[in-house]
Amino acid sequence: MTGMTSTGNERNLNGNGAPGGNPAPADPSSADPAPPSAVDFPGLLSQTVDLDAVAHNVGAIKKASGARRLMAVVKADGYSQGAVQVACAALAGGADQLGVATLQESLELREALELRGTGATLLAWLWHPDEGLELEAAVASGVQLGIPSEEHLEAAIAAGRRARVVPKITVMADTGLNRSGIQVLGGAFRRAVPALADAHARGEAQVTGVFSHLACADEPGHESIGMQAGRFREAAELLAEAGVGKQLNHLANSPAALTRPDLAFDMVRPGLAVYGLEPIAGRDHGLRAAMRWEARIPLVKPLRKGEAVSYGRTWTADRDTTIALIPCGYADGMLRSASGKFEVAINGVRYPQVGRVCMDQFVVDLGPDAPVRAGDVAVIVGNRPGEPTADELAAAAGTINYEILTAPRGRTRRRHIGGEY
């Protein structure tokens, strides 16, 4: 059985989705300078990251949250945008600390920043007590460690003894996400406090504070937000009562940093918003999307009415048309689940993707008379008005914009634009 048939409608990037015609010119008073396109450097598939946007976003988040300090999360290679470059831009934009997941990430970032003559406090929170040499190296280099259990505390202290330094640690409180951290509910956190306070008092570890993560901050008004905030305050008070003073506590992720200034505590810890994507659908906090994902078209050719496209022949042309090949597949991060449900922009006009996304490529229906040629650039995810967005592609794929931001990989060639950071 065949699936979708062609609509034959390309759409202008004129803000109203009007079909056909020439694209409306951008308003020069409001448009940003055009980012360099994929044709400016070799390769078929490109990712361009605007570091000025990153710096801008850090300032916007800090202002919205009212926080005195901000930790920019640059885990997973800076959400696939380049951890080192993003970190430097975030610091220039006002970030006070940097957050990563693993010890390996922290060590690689620390070394790269030192080579650039840049220093910053780093926190790593996803590690195993048996990581041995990497744990010792992280402690020796001053990386702060997230502590999700008493076993992790013991491992951090032992690594500090071997490295002959006092490890800096931040206690992870599980306040209701029920992922990592020491559970507040049920008393596990309370029972762990004496060991934490004792290590702090004896100089075996420096407890810098407590942090936790919200489960539903992207759903404003969700009852769990207040519940988790209450448990977080309880954890911080337990540490303070045990003699751990001068805490630097943080709970707010991107959505909370932008919408709940009452939860800023001593620092906010945004991830997604640093890269310019909105963590709450429909909100606008003045962020600037940092990423563009583009491809050069290697082939344009005619397709007769009744012919089908790609594996499974799920789309059939309902009239003579023209198709373009886009060299981006699921091996490069394009989600197969979006097949037949998203658009790309070419020369200021949007065209529908048709058929199934393949490992290396997908196909776009240009219509009978589109002025598209091989060598033109297709915008898969853009950051200018009217272009396809990460949110749109996420909706087509049945996922979240976080996944689209981290998607580019494989044969995608990345580069950075903006100021010198």
pLDDT confidence of 12, banded at 50, 70, 90?
A: low
* Cβ contact 267:70 at 8 Å: yes
What pLDDT is attached to residue 3? 42
The verdict on whether 75 is a catalytic residue reads yes
Per annotation, catalytic residue among 75, 351, 402, 421: 75
**What is the per-residue pLDDT across 363-372, written as a single tens digit (0 to 9) for each?**
999 999 999 9
pLDDT confidence of 177, banded at 50, 70, 90?
A: very high
Q: Which residue has the tokens 């049945």?
A: 398
Same domain, 238 and 294: no
Q: Residue 297: name the closest of 408, 368, 376 by CA.
A: 376
Same domain, 27 and 105: no
CATH of the domain at 256: 3.20.20.10
> Which tokens belong to 206?
């420096």
The verdict on whether 62 is a catalytic residue reads no
pLDDT confidence of 420, banded at 50, 70, 90?
A: confident
**What is the per-residue pLDDT across 102-112, written as a single tens digit (0 to 9) for each?**
999 999 999 99
The mean pLDDT value for 202-227 works out to 98
**Is residue 322, in this structure, part of any structural domain at all?**
yes
**What is the per-residue pLDDT across 309-330, written as a single tens digit (0 to 9) for each?**
999 999 999 999 999 999 999 9
**What is the per-residue pLDDT across 348-361, written as a single tens digit (0 to 9) for each?**
999 999 999 999 99
Domain that holds residue 117: 97-266
Residue 186 zone, left/alpha/beta (φ > 0; ψ -120 to 50; rest)? left
Of 42-51, 75-84, 124-133, 193-202, least confident by mean pLDDT is 42-51
**Is residue 237, in this structure, part of any structural domain at all?**
yes
Write out the E strands in 277-318.
Answer: 291-296, 299-303, 308-309, 315-316
Per annotation, catalytic residue among 63, 301, 305, 311: 311
The distance in angstroms from the start CA to the end CA of the chain is 54
CATH of the domain at 302: 2.40.37.10
What pLDDT is attached to residue 23? 38
Same domain, 109 and 237: yes
pLDDT, averaged across the chain:
92
